[in-house]
């Protein structure tokens, strides 16, 4: 792979594999339904046969619509692209090469980048039936990870190798995906991927104008109460009536820990009006986002067309700013709060993302 300045990179997959001991247990996963903003990399096209023809790269250069990368596709393979990713696949076998870009908004340090890689792997692969991690490779620098795994799809074992590489505030992922038996019986596919990767060139600056965390998946709230499209690579966690005996809380935390999307459902046997539900909302905001300061101040309240309220608020002591939408369901017996929270220092980066995510809010 080459960067925009034409410097040739060695194939990182050969240099950075380490032992399986690096792998940890996965966090609980929500109901994951990919949206159309990204190709579901865990599900390659269905194979029909093993192709016996020679495998070689085309001499015709492909340039992605974003301008973020170029490559020479394998001869005879199909190309399906979007604004932020591309699938290159062999129709006869379904063997797929995949490239995607993500703008983080700021460079991630080593721990944050690892959190991004692990959360992405959890969403796309770890929750798949029969998942097995074969290798987890960490580069000598913080900016390269290689993860090799198998999983079941449609009753057949699939193989995937994912290479994550951060360039400043931009991430690239490069993958080869296909039916495990075909890959094992035809090692030429991995050799072809090596050549594909080595000749691929990236131009990270072309991604800087893209929205942050543009790859998304569809989050489904408790009891199918709501859906929103949330960022891939944010760490999911579930608190099912542990912190509060009557509340289910699902959170997505940005890799750098500076921003949070949290959905809270409260069913405690009481029937609420918007007035006393607002008191509960303010209590929860102070409990969770003021860092013990108890100083959340609501600067703006909007009543939306569905009767819900949309608050803009800030905690000076906590150093947080956020917006919260709360509403009543089931005759006032359920209170739903959807909050978007950021440190003040990163609000400029995450506020547009919060607006974008809230714009996908739907009631099934």
Q: Residue ranges of the domains in the chain?
A: 12-207, 216-358
Residue the block writes with tokens 């990767």:
197
The 10s digit of each residue's pLDDT in 68-82 is 999 999 999 999 999
Give the other-Cβ count within 10 Å of 210's Cβ: 17
Closest alpha carbon to 26 in 143, 151, 144, 110:
151
Say what the pTM is: 0.86
Q: Do residues 335 and 272 touch, judged by C-beta distance below 8 A?
A: yes
pLDDT band at 363 (very low <50, low <70, confident <90, very high): confident
- Phi, psi (deg, nearest 5) at residue 141: -95, 170
Closest alpha carbon to 264 in 318, 329, 213:
329
pLDDT at 36: 36
12-207 classified as CATH 3.40.50.1450: no
Give yes or no on whether 12-207 and 216-358 have one common fold.
Answer: yes
The 10s digit of each residue's pLDDT in 186-214 is 999 999 999 999 999 999 999 999 999 99
Q: Is the pLDDT of residue 24 over 50?
A: no
Q: Do residues 336 and 329 touch, judged by C-beta distance below 8 A?
A: yes
- CATH architecture of residue range(s) 216-358: 3-Layer(aba) Sandwich (3.40)
pLDDT band at 14 (very low <50, low <70, confident <90, very high): very low
pLDDT at 364: 74
Closest alpha carbon to 92 in 53, 56, 49, 54:
49
């Amino acid at each position: 792979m080459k960067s925009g300045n034409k410097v040739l990179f060695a194939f990182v997959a050969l240099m950075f594999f380490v032992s399986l001991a690096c792998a940890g247990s996965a966090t609980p996963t929500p109901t994951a339904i990919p949206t159309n903003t990204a190709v579901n990399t865990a599900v390659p096209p269905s194979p029909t046969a093993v192709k016996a023809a020679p495998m070689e790269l085309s001499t015709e250069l492909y340039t992605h619509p974003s301008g973020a990368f170029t490559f020479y596709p394998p001869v005879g393979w199909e190309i399906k692209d979007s604004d932020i990713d591309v699938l290159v696949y062999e129709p006869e076998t379904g063997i797929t090469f995949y490239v995607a870009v993500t703008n983080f908004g700021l460079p991630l340090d080593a721990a944050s980048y690892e959190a991004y890689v692990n959360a992405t792997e959890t969403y796309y692969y770890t929750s798949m039936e029969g998942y097995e991690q074969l290798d987890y490779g960490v580069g000598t620098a913080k900016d390269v990870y290689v993860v090799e795994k198998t999983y079941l799809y449609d009753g057949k074992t699939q193989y995937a190798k994912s290479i994550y590489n951060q360039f400043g505030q931009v991430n690239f992922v490069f993958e080869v995906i296909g039916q495990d038996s075909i890959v094992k019986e035809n090692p030429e596919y991995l050799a072809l991927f090596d050549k594909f990767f080595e000749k691929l060139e990236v131009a990270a600056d072309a991604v800087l104008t893209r929205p942050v965390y543009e790859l998304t998946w569809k989050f489904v709230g408790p009891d199918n109460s709501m859906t929103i499209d949330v960022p891939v690579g944010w760490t999911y966690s579930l608190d099912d009536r542990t912190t509060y005996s009557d509340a289910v809380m699902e959170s997505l935390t940005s890799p750098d820990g500076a921003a949070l999307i949290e959905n809270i459902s409260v069913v405690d046997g009481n029937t609420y009006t918007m007035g006393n539900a607002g008191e509960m909302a303010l209590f929860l905001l102070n409990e969770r986002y003021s860092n013990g300061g108890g100083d959340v101040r609501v600067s703006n309240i909007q009543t939306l067309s569905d009767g819900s309220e949309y608050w803009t608020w800030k905690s000076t002591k906590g150093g947080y700013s956020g917006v919260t939408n709360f509403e009543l369901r089931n005759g006032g017996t359920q209170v739903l709060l959807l909050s978007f929270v950021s440190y003040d220092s990163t609000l400029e980066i995450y506020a547009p993302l919060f607006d974008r995510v809230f714009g996908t809010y739907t009631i099934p």
